[in-house]
Structure 1
Amino acid sequence: MPTLPPSVRVLERGWLSSNNVLLIGEDATALVDTGYATHAAQTVELVRHALAGRALDRIVNTHLHSDHCGGNAALRAAYGCRIAIPAADCATVAAWDEDALSFRATAQQCPRFAFDEGVTPGQRLRLGDLDWQALAAPGHDPHALLLWCEGEGILISGDALWHNGFGVVFPELSGEPGFDDVRATLDLIATLDARVVIPGHGAPFADVTEALQRAYGRLDMLAADPIRNAQNAVKVLMKFLLLERRRIPLSDVDLLCATVPLLVRVRERFLNSTSAELAAWLVRGLVGVGAARLDGDVLVDA
Structure 2
Amino acid sequence: MTNLPSSIQVFERGWLSANNVLLIGRHDTALIDSGYYTHRDQTLALVRHGLRGRRLDRLYTTHLHSDHCGGNAILQAHFGCNTFVPAAEEEKVRRWDEDALSFKATGQQCERFTIDGVITPGETLTLGDLEWQVLGAPGHHAHSVIFYCPQEKVLVSADALWWNGFGVIFPELEGEEGFAEAGATLDLIAGLDVRLVIPGHGAVFEDVGPALQRARRRLDFLSGDPKRNAEYAVKVLLKFLLLERQRIPVADVASVLGSMPVIAESNRRHLHMSNEDLAAWAVKHLVRACTARIDGEFLLNDG
- TM tier, shorter chain? over 0.9
Residue in 1 that maps onto 2:232: 232
* 1:82 maps onto 2:82 in alignment: yes
Q: Deviations over 1:257-278 (max 9, x none)?
A: 2222122112211111100000
Q: Is the 8 A contact 1:119 1:134 kept in 2?
A: yes
Q: Deviations over 1:12-31 (max 9, x none)?
A: 11211000000000000000
% same residue:
59
**d(CA) in 2 for partners of 1:140 and 1:100?**
16
Q: How does 1:179-198 map to 2 (within 5 A)?
A: 179-198=179-198
Corresponding residue SS for 1:106: coil
Residue in 1 that maps onto 2:246: 246
| Count, aligned residues | 302
**d(CA) in 2 for partners of 1:149 and 1:258?**
42
Residue in 2 that maps onto 1:117: 117
**d(CA) in 1 for partners of 2:145 and 2:111?**
22
Query: TM-score, normalized by length of structure 1?
Result: 0.99
Query: TM-score, normalized by length of structure 2?
Result: 0.99
Q: Deviations over 1:243-293 (max 9, x none)?
A: 101000012101112222122112211111100000110111111110100
User: How big is the alpha-carbon RMSD for the aligned residues of Structure 1 and Structure 2?
Assistant: 0.7
Residue in 1 that maps onto 2:104: 104
Q: How does 1:1-302 map to 2 (within 5 A)?
A: 1-302=1-302
Runs of 4+ aligned residues of structure 1 deviating over 3 Å after TM superposition are: none
Q: Is the 8 A contact 2:250 2:297 kept in 1?
A: yes
Q: Deviations over 1:60-101 (max 9, x none)?
A: 111110000000000000100000110110011011111111
Q: Is the 8 A contact 2:107 2:259 kept in 1?
A: no
**d(CA) in 1 for partners of 2:96 and 2:64?**
12
Bigger mean CA offset, 157-166 vs 260-269: 260-269
Q: Is the 8 A contact 2:62 2:158 kept in 1?
A: yes
Structure 1: segments with no counterpart, 5+ residues: none
Q: CA deviation at 1:2?
A: 2.3
**d(CA) in 2 for partners of 1:189 and 1:207?**
13
Bigger mean CA offset, 249-258 vs 230-239: 249-258
Corresponding residue SS for 1:156: strand
Q: Is the 8 A contact 1:248 1:300 kept in 2?
A: yes
Bigger mean CA offset, 253-262 vs 211-220: 253-262
**d(CA) in 2 for partners of 1:50 and 1:265?**
42
Q: Deviations over 1:129-184 (max 9, x none)?
A: 00001000000001100101001100000000000000000000000010000000
Corresponding residue SS for 2:42: helix
Q: Deviations over 1:211-258 (max 9, x none)?
A: 000000000000001101100011000000111010000121011122
Q: Is the 8 A contact 2:238 2:257 kept in 1?
A: no
Structure 2: segments with no counterpart, 5+ residues: none
> Structure 2: which amino acid aligns with 1:187?
D
Corresponding residue SS for 2:269: helix
**d(CA) in 2 for partners of 1:252 and 1:128?**
46
**d(CA) in 2 for partners of 1:301 and 1:154?**
34
Q: Is the 8 A contact 1:257 1:276 kept in 2?
A: no
**d(CA) in 2 for partners of 1:257 and 1:195?**
40
> Structure 2: which amino acid aligns with 1:74?
I
Q: CA deviation at 1:298?
A: 0.7
> Structure 2: which amino acid aligns with 1:137?
A
